[in-house]
Amino acid sequence: MTGTQTELSPRNAFREQQWREAHERYLDCARKVFAGSGYHASTVGDIVEAANGSRATFYAHFRDKADIAAGLFERALPAGAEIYRLAAGFPELTRAAVRAWLDEHVLGFWSRYDVEVMVVNDAMAADPGVAARHYQWGVDAARELRPYLEKWTGAQEQVALTRALLLILQLERLCYHWLVRGVPHDREMMLDILADLWFRELEFLRAGP
C-alpha cells in the first residue's frame, strides 16, 4: 500500500461517516416534520430547515419528499422483517402462539412505527415508484415465512408466496387503518380474528399443496 493510499483511507472513512450522519439527520428531522404537519402539508424546505441544512445537501441524499418518506420507512424494515422471522420460527405452531405473536410483536411494531407507516402510505398514493417499492417490501416480508413455503415447489412456489403476501397485505391494511389512522376496534376481538386467520393459513401453507 502506498503512502497516498494510506492517507486517503482515513479521509474517505471520515467522508463516509459524515455522509451517513447527514443522511440520518435528514431522516430524523423528516420524521419530526411529518409527525407534526403530516406528509401532504410538509415540504422539502421544512425538512431542510429542521435539519439546519441546505437543499443541495438534501438532494444529494434524496430525490424528493416521496423518496425521503420511503427512506424513512425503509429504516424500519429490519424490525418489520424480524417479526415475520419470529413467525417462521415458532417452536410449535399453535393458535395461542400466533395470537401472542400478533399481540406482542405485530401490533407493537405498527404502534412504534406509526409515523413511518403513515408517510409511506401517503407517499405511495402519489408516487408510483414508492408504490412499487412498497409492494417489493411486502414480497420480501412474505419470503421471511419460508419454512411454511418449502413444500410448494415448481409452479406452486409462486402460489404459496402469493398466499403469504396476501396474508401480510391484509394485516398491513387493517393495522394501518386501526393503529395509524385511529379507526376504533376492540383489541381482543381483532386479535382473536387475526389469530384464527393466520393460524389456519400457516397450517395450510405448512402442509403443502
- pLDDT tens, position by position, for the chain (209 residues)? 444 444 547 667 768 888 889 999 999 999 999 999 999 999 999 999 999 999 999 999 999 999 999 999 999 999 999 999 999 999 999 999 999 999 999 999 999 999 999 999 999 988 999 999 999 999 999 999 999 999 999 999 999 999 999 999 999 999 999 999 999 999 999 999 999 999 999 999 999 99
| CB burial string 42-62: b at 16+ within 10 A, e below | bebebbbebbebeeebbeebb
The predicted structure's pLDDT at residue 19: 83
How far, in Å, CA of 83 to CA of 81, rounded?
Answer: 6
- Domains delineated in the chain: 1-62 (1.10.10), 65-207 (1.10.357)
CB contact set of 150 (below 8 Å; sequence gap of 6+):
none
How far, in Å, CA of 81 to CA of 76, rounded?
Answer: 9
Phi-psi region of 182 (alpha: psi -120 to 50; beta: other; left: phi over 0): left
Distance separating the N- and C-terminal Cα atoms of the chain? 58
CB contact set of 112 (below 8 Å; sequence gap of 6+):
79
CB contact set of 94 (below 8 Å; sequence gap of 6+):
199
Cell representation of residue 3: 503512502
SS3 of 99-149: the string is: HHHHHHHHHHHHHHCHHHHHHHHHHHHHCHHHHHHHHHHHHHHHHCCHHHC
pTM for this model (two decimals): 0.85
Which amino acid, residue 103? D
